[in-house]
Amino acid sequence: MEAPAPVKGGQARIVEEAELYRRLICAHTEIVDGWLVSSPSGGDSAIDALVWERQTDVEAGDHRAFQRSWRIDKGTLQCTSPFPVEAKPVIKVVHSPSGKRTAVLRKDPKADEKAKKSAIGCFIDIWEKGRLAYTVKTQGKHGIIYGDDIFGNVAWSSDESQLVYVAEKYDDLKKRPSFWEHNATVQSAASDSPIKDKDDVETPANPSALKLKQEEGAPGSANEYLEDWGETFVGYATPRLFCVDYKAKKVFPVPGIPDKLACGDPQWVPGLGLYFVALDISVRRLGVRFCFNRESAVYHVPFDGAIPADTAEKKKDSADKSSAPDNTAAEKDKPLTITKVSSDSDLSVHSPRISPDNSKLAYFGYVSIATHNGNARLRILDLPATGTVEDHQPLQHAQARTVVGVIDLPSSPTAFTGFSFRRSLSPRPWLSNDRLVLSAPWRSERKLVAVDVSSKVQAERKEDEKVEEAQDKGESRVHILSTGVVHAADSGEEPISAEQLAWEVLDIKRDQILAVASAPNRPAIPVLGKVNSDNQVAWRFFPGFEATASYREQYTRNLTWKILEIAPTTNSGQDAPAGAKLPFEAILLTTKKTAETSNSSSEKDKEKAPEETEQKNKLRPLLVIPHGGPHGAYAAEFSAVWTYFFHVGYDVLLVNYRGSTAFGQAALETLPGKCGTQDVADVMDSINYVLDNKLSDASRVALLGGSHGGFLTAHLVSRFNIFKAGVAMNPVININTMAGSTDISDWCFVEAGGLDKHGRTTSLISSETFLAMHKASPINYAQNCVTPTLVVLGLADRRVPFAQGLEFYWALKEKGTETRVLAYEDNNHGLPTVTASSDSWINSALWLNKFVFPT
């Protein structure tokens, strides 16, 4: 289907763009999560694949989540639920290792949405044998349960009778009174006469100003400021490990963990105890969303699930209780010793995962934490063969070993670039006890790889194949799995090369991999892979996705894409760091006609008749979208929003400027201290590349970006007059004023001042740093902006407070440049609500069209 021509006329254009958005967004199904579980009814060989999907309902202003299932057995893959089952919103769903039980963690439906997270009650439901077997209420034990991918993992005990999870420490708000509440009796300092409370109960005179019940907090503490973990974690302050024994209906905190540690991502090893990640909260909390540089470590506590004596019930005579193990003995209630087991050189860690045989713990460690993201090394901790968990004594652990190190400079233009992440690993990433499977950003692609973590790999190398240890980063251990052909089965899809897709692993069981794959012109659908011992995978699409095939035929048939390699022109000379000399990339989404004509046109033809070539191509306007971060990266994957702008009439250019992840650590570290110069130049280089090669219309170029992409948009529209219009979403505008109000103030110092500014989080800025921040900020150039610019703001943004965008808006108003602000209440940095995202994208298209397609 050809992209529709932009509609002429004000009201008609608004109606058309809104309807186009509705069709594109509502028809798209997003794969949210998936699991492989042992089939309860299909025999020993059968596996059930459970996939959670989500569609956007713009009329209702909500997302609709639903689940479908498939049976995998003896080479067959059959859909067992052709009609989706809609799922109610829950915090987390966790299937037990045996597949016999499912835990559903959900918020109390009667909880006040505006209540503090520390006071919100939850329920834990255990489903087995096709029914709800147990429900445990946690009210009064802790606050909200964490269901995110940073803190919120859930671990089953070996007998599946208990769960360890993460929840907010309970805060009884009644014990933090104001000065005038009933539980505080006020005594006038100037009078000795008794004062009656509101129930007319006389209290004796007291020389002190306030008299409180012994167990209550200090008066006037009700509104004391509580630090939290920032963007998307507002109100989440003190994550603690809790255990639920659902048969005994007991909830209790895991003992032995000091209050100064914020805990997350627990892993339970039979006979050894719990392993988990913890951050030290004795100092300031900084935002953790998209920030993998928060100082943390992996810890161990020899916890065996014993219910502490003060929470243990007397034994009951019911058959259900008598069959349960006796974990309530008081003699088991001994102090536990917590031990740090990750290495000191791992300054930040994430995603600890236990191997199937419980012999290894894999985790990712960062040796450089100046930037919010970067290259991590894969570490393996070989666990003790046997433990002394019953004695509650600390275990002796060996030093962790590096399996894959930090890749500073890739060995070749197509070589492995190291591990960097946008989210934590899947809960079960192990293909075997020695092979780990994960998604690896690889320049502008995302590949699926298997990593050999065996300690024997180095020893088994032939003498002439050995590499000096200082140079060996473990690249030889990384094997690409996303190769070959993905077969269609009965999915309605056509076979496609796996190398043309961007991959994300969801779950692994036995030799089966459940993944999701997409491309800019192919919406994501689940893919099943069967792996052999040689790391060869037979891939096939899941059946039952005819609607996705129809979506592709209707909306992306004429969309094609290419990855452009671009040589930088700034900070790339002879004296520049090696990482700065490397080319960067951009992904161009365009029409097949334009791409085919461009590829077939010889240089001689272009020299002869460039006007004829341009006319033949009917070049489209170019919409440039630099990513945020700045240390993130685009992958060549599907996005309904990109597809929307393609159908509005634009070529879309996604720029992975130097400083992006997935290009090696050396390239990433060239950007701090050069934000506002190097990244701006790279975006202009990518635009010039497209225009010089006549891939898009040079007379119609527009910009759109959010966060750091908004920072770049504001810079570019202020410093270059080639743009018809711009849209800046939650943009960084003035780093000086942002430093004292953002949840990641360290970002301001490092990105404006350089890597040596790491560790600075105070808003007390030196004059030198103040000047560096000002020079790096778009506000320094705003007085030159003549490009019409729309500013889009989330009023609940903790990452880039909305006042940043208002600074730019007021500067443009004062200049006389056409501008407008859209402000969304109760929306954070990502504008996550359906109402806000729909309104902002449609308004963005209308704003750009007003200047790119004038009537």
Antiparallel, parallel or unpaired: β 445-452 and 435-442: antiparallel
How many Cα atoms sit within 13 Å of 674 on the Cβ side?
20
Q: What is the pLDDT of residue 811?
A: 97
Q: DSSP states of 388-412 as a string?
A: -GGGTPPPP-PPPEEEE---SS-SS
Q: What is the pLDDT of residues 219-259, one digit of tens each?
A: 777 788 889 999 999 999 999 999 999 999 999 999 989 99
For residue 725, what are the β-bridge partners?
A: 702
Residue 212 has pLDDT above 50, yes or no: no
Length of the chain measured in residues: 855
Q: Work out the burial of residue 192: count CB atoms within 10 Å of its CB; fewer than 13 is exposed, 13-18 middle, 19 or more buried.
A: exposed
How far apart (Å, rounded) are the C-alpha atoms in residues 112 and 108?
9
Q: What is the pLDDT of residue 170?
A: 87
How does DSSP classify residue 196?
B
Q: What is the pLDDT of residue 338?
A: 92
| CB 463, CB 542: distance < 8 Å | no
Amino acid (one-letter) located at 381: L
Q: What is the pLDDT of residue 491?
A: 58
How far apart (Å, rounded) are the C-alpha atoms in residues 552 and 281?
48
Average pLDDT of 426-447? 95
Residues 6+ apart with CB under 8 A from 432: 356
Q: What is the pLDDT of residue 746?
A: 94
Q: What is the pLDDT of residues 376-396, one digit of tens each?
A: 999 999 999 866 566 566 777
Q: DSSP states of 544-569 as a string?
A: --HHHHHHIIIIITTEEEEEEEE---
Residue 460 has pLDDT above 70, yes or no: no
Residues 6+ apart with CB under 8 A from 837: 831
Q: DSSP states of 684-715 as a string?
A: HHHHHHHHHTTSS-TT-EEEEEETHHHHHHHH
Confidence label for 296 from pLDDT (cuts 50, 70 and 90): very high
Residue 601 has pLDDT above 60, yes or no: no
Q: Work out the burial of residue 285: count CB atoms within 10 Å of its CB; fewer than 13 is exposed, 13-18 middle, 19 or more buried.
A: buried
Calculate the CA dihedral of residues 405, 409, 415, 421 and round it to 10 degrees: 60
Residue 185 has pLDDT above 70, yes or no: no
Q: What is the pLDDT of residue 146?
A: 97
Antiparallel, parallel or unpaired: β 701-706 and 723-729: parallel
What is the b/e burial string over 115-154, where b = at least 16 CB atoms within 10 angstroms of the residue's CB? eebbbbbbbbbbbeeeeeebebebeebbbbbbbbbbbbbb
- What's the N-to-C CA distance of the chain in angstroms? 24
Residue 55 has pLDDT above 90, yes or no: yes
Reduce the DSSP state of residue 723 to 3 states and report it.
strand
Q: What is the pLDDT of residue 10?
A: 64
| Dihedral sign computed on CA atoms, order 362, 367, 371, 377 | negative
Residue 429 has pLDDT above 80, yes or no: yes
Mutual angle of helices 678-692 and 708-719, in 10-degree steps:
70
Task: Give the C-alpha distances (Å, rounded to integers) separating 659 from 68, 226, 374, 415, 498.
Answer: 40, 34, 9, 18, 28
Average pLDDT of 405-421? 94
Q: What is the pLDDT of residue 745?
A: 95
Q: What is the pLDDT of residue 173?
A: 64
SS (H, E, C) 810-834: HHHHHHCCCEEEEEECCCCCCCCCH
Q: What is the pLDDT of residue 607?
A: 43
Task: Give the C-alpha distances (Å, rounded to integers) separating 370 from 634, 731, 762.
Answer: 22, 22, 15
Longest CA–CA separation in the chain, Å? 103
Q: What is the pLDDT of residue 88?
A: 86
> What radius of gyration, in Å, describes the C-alpha atoms of the chain?
29
How far apart (Å, rounded) are the C-alpha atoms in residues 132 and 123?
13
Q: Which of 358, 198, 172 is nearest to 275 (CA)?
A: 358
Average pLDDT of 688-695? 97
Average pLDDT of 302-313? 77
| CB 678, CB 659: distance < 8 Å | yes
Residue 469 has pLDDT above 50, yes or no: no
Q: Higher pLDDT residue, 478 or 323? A: 478
Q: What is the pLDDT of residue 461?
A: 42
Average pLDDT of 304-313? 74
Q: Which of 240, 242, 247 is nearest to 135 (CA)?
A: 247
Residue 110 has pLDDT above 70, yes or no: yes
Least confident of 73-87, 603-617, 743-757: 603-617
Q: What are phi and psi of 555, to 5 degrees?
A: -115, -20
Q: Residue 31: enclosing H or E segment and its boundaries?
A: strand 29-38
- Strands (E) across 417-500 are located at 430-432, 435-442, 445-452, 478-480, 485-487, 496-497
Q: What is the pLDDT of residues 642-652, one digit of tens each?
A: 999 999 999 99
How far apart (Å, rounded) are the C-alpha atoms in residues 818 and 717?
12
Least confident of 243-252, 533-542, 723-732, 809-818: 533-542
* Residue showing tokens 């042992």: 38
Residue 308 has pLDDT above 90, yes or no: no
Q: What is the pLDDT of residues 602-617, one digit of tens each?
A: 443 434 344 444 444 5
Q: What are phi and psi of 605, to 5 degrees?
A: -65, -40
Residue 314 has pLDDT above 70, yes or no: no
Q: What is the pLDDT of residue 15?
A: 86
Q: What is the pLDDT of residue 596?
A: 61
Q: Which of 344, 355, 345 is nearest to 455 (CA)?
A: 355
Q: Higher pLDDT residue, 112 or 584? A: 584
Reduce the DSSP state of residue 290 to 3 states and report it.
coil
How far apart (Å, rounded) are the C-alpha atoms in residues 237 and 256?
19
Residue 458 has pLDDT above 80, yes or no: no
Q: Work out the burial of residue 372: count CB atoms within 10 Å of its CB; fewer than 13 is exposed, 13-18 middle, 19 or more buried.
A: buried
What is the percent of the chain with per-residue pLDDT over 90, rounded to a whole number? 69
Q: What are phi and psi of 222, to 5 degrees?
A: -60, -30
Least confident of 272-276, 355-359, 579-583, 605-609: 605-609
Total Cβ atoms within 10 A of residue 850: 17
483 CA to centre of own chain: 26
Least confident of 58-67, 104-113, 207-216, 226-235: 207-216
How far apart (Å, rounded) are the C-alpha atoms in residues 442 and 666?
15
